[in-house]
């Protein structure tokens, strides 16, 4: 039997704030979130929690934008190094406003024990972040860490974002006009591998053919929730399986109990529905008990449906699985 909740890579969400507020963000991050970051004591706790897995996952420090609180990021890297946990950082490069700053911060991180850097690069980011900053982040990270320790997600977009303004963000509509609808769908939706969770389905669902809720009747979420290789733990104590932003499967502070519960098949109510019946099951529950009605234009994918139902439920009742609540404030 495959074990539940055994991720290989845990994103430690140090803050949900960032400069971006990108249309494709699965965690609804942006500058509108409270000015809250993980406390240094919580960083220690979360790393201790990660270390309880027999095959310790690697961690990436992320957000939001983890560089918004650079001393905290540095501290987190030092602690992960002390604990012997493999570690990298994920950044959009929005903070890379000058060569000196980029060089000094990447160098400090390397000296603190950071092993690698992942830099996000896409037209969605370039709509919020001047490409010159992303390119500076890539160039400087390679200078400090070496090419083999710098990942760009996605490298194919490095060339694409350089076709437009370098010093200023470029609206996504400019990319869509240049590409045309068919290519926009191929390059932006499928090329990036977009998931309709977070705000992606709402903001970008127009890129693909939308389908009614009934189209997802057979789509369950057992794999995404139980066997995700990539999961997140946030500053508020939530364990978020897979890429299911806004859906907490439990508290990482009680990780041994959470793992035991999942291994025994004991799940929080909404999580059980998603595992067994997928978002269509959630939709039926919300229709029957909370007067949910679907969007007439339909949904880009099952995660778009899921988020739409969860937004309705979060407004209608008290569900501990639907956390952090700030995620649901701008549905
Ligand atoms: S995708 Fe990244 S940069 Fe964009 S809003 Fe989300 S966390 Fe911020
Ligand atoms: S439908 Fe919901 S639970 Fe399933 S993978 Fe998507 S966001 Fe996660």
pLDDT digits (tens, 9 = 90+) for 89-112: 999 999 999 999 999 999 999 999
Centroid of ligand 2 to alpha carbon of 318 (angstroms): 19
Q: How confident is the prediction for the chain on average, in pLDDT? A: 96
Quickly state the pLDDT bin for 324 (edges 50, 70, 90): very high
Two tokens, residue 77: 């890297």
pTM: 0.97
Which is it for the CA torsion 5, 3, 309, 122, positive or negative? positive
Beta carbon of 123 within 6 Å of any ligand 1 atom: no
Task: Note the pLDDT tens digit of each residue in 207-246.
Answer: 999 999 999 999 999 999 999 999 999 999 999 999 999 9
Closest CA to 185 of 204, 199, 171, 211: 204
Mean per-residue pLDDT for 36-59? 96
Closest CA to 204 of 215, 219, 193: 193
Q: What is the pLDDT of residues 157-210, one digit of tens each?
A: 999 999 999 999 999 999 999 999 999 999 999 999 999 999 999 999 999 999
- How far apart CA 226 and CA 8 sit, in angstroms, is 13
Going by alpha carbons, the residue nearest to atom 2 of ligand 1 is 64
State whether the beta carbon of 92 lies less than 6 angstroms from ligand 1. Answer: yes
User: Residue 279 CA: which ligand is closest?
Assistant: 2
The residue contributing the CA closest to ligand 1 atom 5 is 21
* Predicted local distance difference test score (pLDDT) of residue 2: 54
Strands in 14-162 per DSSP E: 58-62, 87-91, 116-120, 150-153
The two counts, helices (H) then strands (E), for the chain are 13, 8
Q: Which atom of ligand 1 is nearest to the CA of 30?
A: 5
Cβ contact 21:198 at 8 Å: no
For residue 3, name the pLDDT band (cuts at 50, 70, 90): low
Query: Before 64, cis peptide (omega within 30)?
Result: yes
Q: Is 54 helix (H, G, I), strand (E, B) or coil?
A: coil
- Tell whether omega for the bond before 266 is within 30 degrees of 0, i.e. cis: no
Q: How confident is the model at residue 1 (pLDDT cuts 50, 70, 90)?
A: very low
Q: Is 211 exposed, middle or buried (0-12, 13-18, 19+ CB in 10 A)?
A: middle
* Ligand sitting nearest the alpha carbon of 19: 1
| Residue owning the nearest CA to atom 8 of ligand 2 | 244
Domains of the chain with CATH codes? 9-193 (3.20.20.70), 215-228+254-328 (no CATH)
List ligand 2's pocket residues with C-beta within 6 A.
197, 221, 224-225, 242, 244, 247, 274, 279, 302-303, 306
Beta-carbon contacts of residue 320 (< 8 Å; ≥ 6 apart): 248, 268
Task: Count CA atoms within 13 Å of residue 249 on its CB side.
Answer: 33
Binding site membership of 93 for ligand 1 (Cβ less than 6 Å): no
Distance 139 CA to ligand 2 centre (A): 35
Alpha carbon distances (Å) from 36 to 17, 68, 237, 324: 8, 11, 13, 13
């Amino acid at each position: 039997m495959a074990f539940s909740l055994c991720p290989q890579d845990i994103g430690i969400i140090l803050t949900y704030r960032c400069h971006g507020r990108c249309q494709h963000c699965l965690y609804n991050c942006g500058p509108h979130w409270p000015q809250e970051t993980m406390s240094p004591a919580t960083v220690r706790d979360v790393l201790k929690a990660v270390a309880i897995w027999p095959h310790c996952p690697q961690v990436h420090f992320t957000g939001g934008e983890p560089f918004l609180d650079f001393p905290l990021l540095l501290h987190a890297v030092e602690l992960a190094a002390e604990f012997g946990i493999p570690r990298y950082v994920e950044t959009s490069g929005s903070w890379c406003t000058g060569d000196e700053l980029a060089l000094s911060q990447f160098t400090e991180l390397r000296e603190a024990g950071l092993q690698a850097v992942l830099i996000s690069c896409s037209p969605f980011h370039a709509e919020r972040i001047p490409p010159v900053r992303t390119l500076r982040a890539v160039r400087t990270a390679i200078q400090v860490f070496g090419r083999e320790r710098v990942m760009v997600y996605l490298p194919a977009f490095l060339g694409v974002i350089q076709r437009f303004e370098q010093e200023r963000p470029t609206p996504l509509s400019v990319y869509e006009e240049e590409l045309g609808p068919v290519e926009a769908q191929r390059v932006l939706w499928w090329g990036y591998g977009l998931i309709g969770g977070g705000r992606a389905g709402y903001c970008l669902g127009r890129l693909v053919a939308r389908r009614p809720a009934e189209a997802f009747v057979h789509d369950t979420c057992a794999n995404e929730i139980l066997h995700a290789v990539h999961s997140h733990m946030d500053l508020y104590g939530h364990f978020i399986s897979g890429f299911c932003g806004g859906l907490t499967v439990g508290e990482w502070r009680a990780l041994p109990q959470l793992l035991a519960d999942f291994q025994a098949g004991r799940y929080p109510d909404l999580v059980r529905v998603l595992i067994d019946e997928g978002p269509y099951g959630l939709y039926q529950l919300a229709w029957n008990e909370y007067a949910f009605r679907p969007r007439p234009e339909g949904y880009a994918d099952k995660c778009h449906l899921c988020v739409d139902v969860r937004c309705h439920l979060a407004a209608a009742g008290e569900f501990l699985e639907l956390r952090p609540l700030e995620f649901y404030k701008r549905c």
